[in-house]
């Protein structure tokens, strides 16, 4: 079975792995048709993803077809098309008992802590499959990315009409902007890339500003006199994350939708003077998977613009390095299996 393996940073190779065999109780054997390339995959390729170990089969944004099911599986059957919720939680820790399975104490993510879906077939817990009778495999592979945005916006809880700043217009930042718009917020996107600003303005209908050299006072002026009360940072850049503490208005909120290795420092008097609130956000929940699927099915979310680059599995080792370069203009790359 052809498989993409990330042996070490910068070394993505095509290999062979054994077929997975028959599913056990509560499991499903699935055929992977599409997999999106996530920022996590790009960071792992660069060697700066903190939770990643090598060698690893990446891939956690998956559109799959059910080939077989084990005993006691009732939520899916052979032939169903599904998105995969790639977060393997224990179900027993305090986070899981509170319904926060996305931050389980022993969480393992497909393609990060354990092997993922850049291969033809795999076995997954059937409960992690979310079915759709309407969506294509490519749309199903986008559900996980959009779910990250939905969960981040839920953490920030924007009010209708609230001035909201999204820093970073990569796939996660765009997903955050998408769901902030869905929540009725007044959204501004900040990015240094003209291509990504244009994408956000055209397809999401948001205000898009060039972040190069922008100061809080310049932002205040651009927004009509007040700083935003809700700020999302989705850059994965330590300097930007430190800068995020300067963007919110008094009593504002910051949600870090990005992750970096190391510490993020902030000025404590400034933080206290403005009584800021800081949230982390990690992954998403089953409810958000179901919500995202329903929104795409209803046409409320248009996925057509999202996929800008495609390649079959065998071609990915040749083109993957180019997908890491901003000048390539990748919003979302999709691997066909």
What is the tens place of the pLDDT at every residue in 282-297? 999 999 999 999 999 9
Cα separation of 236 and 326, whole Å? 14
Is pLDDT at 48 greater than 90 in this prediction?
no
Query: pLDDT tens digits, residue range 106-148?
Result: 999 999 999 999 999 999 999 999 999 999 999 999 999 999 9
Domain range summary for the chain, segments of one domain joined by +: 2-131+306-336, 149-280
What's the rounded Cα separation, in Å, for the pair 265 and 315? 41
Say what the pLDDT of residue 49 is.
84
Mean per-residue pLDDT, 92-101: 96
Q: Residue 259 above 90 pLDDT? A: no
With beta carbons less than 8 A apart as the criterion, state whether 43 and 130 touch.
no
- Give 2-131+306-336's CATH code, choosing from 3.90.78.10, 3.10.20.30, 3.90.180.10, 3.40.640.10: 3.90.180.10
Choose the CATH number for 149-280 among 3.40.50.2300, 3.40.50.1110, 1.10.260.40, 3.40.50.720: 3.40.50.720
Rounded Cα distance between 222 and 331, Å, is: 26
What span, in angstroms and rounded, lies between the C-alpha atoms of 28 and 117? 14
CA distances for 270 relative to 211, 221, 230, angstroms: 22, 20, 16
Contact call for residues 22 and 29 (beta carbons, < 8 A): yes
Name the token pair of 1.
Answer: 């079975």
- The reported pTM is 0.95
Name the average pLDDT for the chain: 96
The yes-or-no answer to whether 2-131+306-336 and 149-280 have a common fold is no
Amino acid 326: pLDDT: 85
Question: How much is the pLDDT for 2?
Answer: 92
Residue 87 has a CB neighbour count (10 Å cut-off) of 24
Asked if the model's pLDDT at residue 168 lies above 90, the reply is yes
Burial 199-208 (b: 16+ CB within 10 A, else e): bbeebbebbb
Q: What is the mean pLDDT of residues 202-211?
A: 96
The answer for residues whose C-beta is within 8 angstroms of residue 178's C-beta and 6 or more apart is: 146, 149, 204, 301
pLDDT at 84 over 90: yes
Asked whether residue 299 carries a pLDDT value surpassing 90, the answer given is: yes
Do residues 156 and 173 touch, judged by C-beta distance below 8 A?
no
CA distance 179 to 184: 9
Helices 286-298, 137-156: inter-axial angle, 10-degree rounding: 120
pLDDT, tens digit, for every residue of 226-245?
Answer: 999 999 999 989 999 999 99
CA dist list (Å): 21 to 1, 28, 90:
12, 11, 24
What letters, b where the CB count within 10 A reaches 16 and e where it falls short, cover 134-161?
A: ebebbbbbbbbbbbbbbbbbbebebeee
Q: Are 104 and 87 in contact (CB under 8 A)?
A: yes
DSSP state letter for 222? H
What is the phi-psi region of residue 251: left when phi exceeds 0, alpha when psi lies from -120 to 50, beta otherwise? left
What is the model's pLDDT at position 334?
98
Write down how long the chain is. Answer: 337
Q: What is the pLDDT of residue 51?
A: 84
- In the predicted structure, residue 261 carries a pLDDT above the cut 90: no
């Amino acid at each position: 079975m052809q498989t993409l393996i990330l042996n070490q940073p910068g070394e993505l190779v095509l290999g062979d792995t054994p077929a997975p065999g028959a599913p056990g109780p509560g499991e499903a054997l699935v055929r992977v048709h599409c997999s999106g390339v996530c920022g996590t995959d790009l960071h792992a390729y660069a060697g700066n993803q903190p939770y990643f170990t090598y060698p690893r089969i990446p891939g956690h944004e998956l559109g799959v077809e059910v080939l077989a099911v084990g005993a006691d599986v009732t939520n899916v059957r052979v032939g169903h098309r599904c998105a995969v919720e790639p977060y393997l939680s224990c179900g027993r820790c305090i986070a899981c008992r509170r319904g926060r399975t996305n931050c389980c104490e022993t969480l393992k993510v497909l393609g990060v802590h354990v092997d993922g879906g850049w291969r033809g077939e795999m076995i997954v817990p059937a409960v992690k499959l979310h079915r759709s009778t309407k969506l294509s495999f490519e749309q199903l592979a986008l559900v996980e990315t959009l779910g990250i945005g939905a969960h981040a916006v839920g953490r920030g809880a924007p009010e209708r009409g609230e001035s909201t700043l999204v820093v970073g217009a990569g796939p996660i930042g765009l997903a955050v902007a998408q769901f902030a718009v869905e929540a009725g917020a007044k959204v501004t996107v900040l990015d240094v890339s003209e291509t990504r600003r244009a994408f956000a303005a055209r397809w999401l209908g948001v205000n898009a500003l060039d972040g190069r050299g922008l100061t809080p006072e310049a932002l205040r002026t651009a927004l009509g006199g007040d700083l935003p009360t809700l700020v999302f940072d989705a850059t994965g850049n330590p300097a930007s994350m430190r800068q995020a503490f300067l963007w919110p208005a008094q009593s504002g909120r910051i949600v870090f939708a990005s992750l970096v290795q190391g510490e993020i420092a902030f000025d404590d008097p400034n933080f206290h003077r403005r009584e800021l609130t800081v949230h982390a956000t990690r992954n998403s929940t089953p409810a958000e998977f179901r919500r995202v699927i329903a929104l795409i099915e209803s046409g409320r979310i248009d996925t057509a613009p999202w996929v800008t680059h495609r390649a079959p599995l065998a071609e990915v080792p040749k083109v993957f390095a180019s997908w890491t370069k901003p000048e390539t203009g990748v919003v979302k790359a999709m691997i066909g299996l």
